[in-house]
Amino acid sequence: MDKKPIFQVSDNDLGMRLDNFILKQRRHITKSVLYKLIRKGQVRVNGKRCKPELKLDVNDTVRVPPFIFFDEKEKVQVPDASRARMTQAIVFEDADYVVLNKPAGIPCHVGTGHDFGVIEIIQSMPEYTETQLAHRLDVHTSGCLLLAKNRQALLAFQAAMKDHQVEKQYLAKLEGKLSSEKTVDLPLNTDNRINGIRTVVPDTHGKSAETTFKPIKFDEHHTWVVCQIKHGRTHQIRAHAASMNMSVVGDTLYGARASKGKRKIYLHAQSLSFGDYDWRCEAGF
């Protein structure tokens, strides 16, 4: 075997942490195994011992044990129909970003019960092999999903998120009647599990979270609301809606009846903006 177990850092990986860089190359390696190897000096950067948080530079060489380098998982076989569907979902593209109107029911990445997600589908296309998720949406949430085509664009978005310069707006269909605008300011425990399933609950010691619900439409049993969020915690809108006893339609995890409509949960990311960018994705409900 002539090839050495060495990864070389490219422009697209500039500034990435060592641990994240290796996990990007070999996603099936667990963090616990990786950190143990780094501590034992079995991972070297430019021939030297290093720490997991080391920031990498272009052309750095990262030597790993052969069992990591040569043990590539079989590539996911993505059907042509899935690629075509994802291509049709693109609503914006430039040199830095791709915005999708993500269909409901498709996860952002591979996970339990799903052989592949948005990122696996996108990266299976030759022109998008280096594209990364800039953020995530729940599997049953549709709408604006941002992907970065290069490392610099990804870092720019992450910096804007950290500085609270990113605005997200959602559309939801709630059970019951909400007669006027309401803001829910309720800390959330996002690490809570019920029967092994992440289920976010209000907790005074949890992470701060605020959601404003603005009613825009009604029928006999439901209210359509525009949701403006602060902080963007896991399941924030769903948990805050449930706290008003007005769960998102179809959201059985948070107390709603099962949906009889075309989709499982009626939640849609309708707009996303930061800097000079302002994207909007139309909902189908």
Could you list the active site residues?
138
The three-state secondary structure class of 281 is coil
Contact 97, 80 (CB under 8 A): no
Burial of 32 (0-12, 13-18, 19+ CB in 10 A): exposed
d(CA 279, CA 269): 10
Long-range contacts of 212-220 (CB under 8 A, 24+ apart): 212/181, 212/182, 212/183, 212/184, 213/172, 213/174, 213/178, 213/181, 213/182, 213/183, 213/184, 213/240, 213/241, 213/244, 214/181, 215/178, 215/179, 215/180, 215/181, 218/177
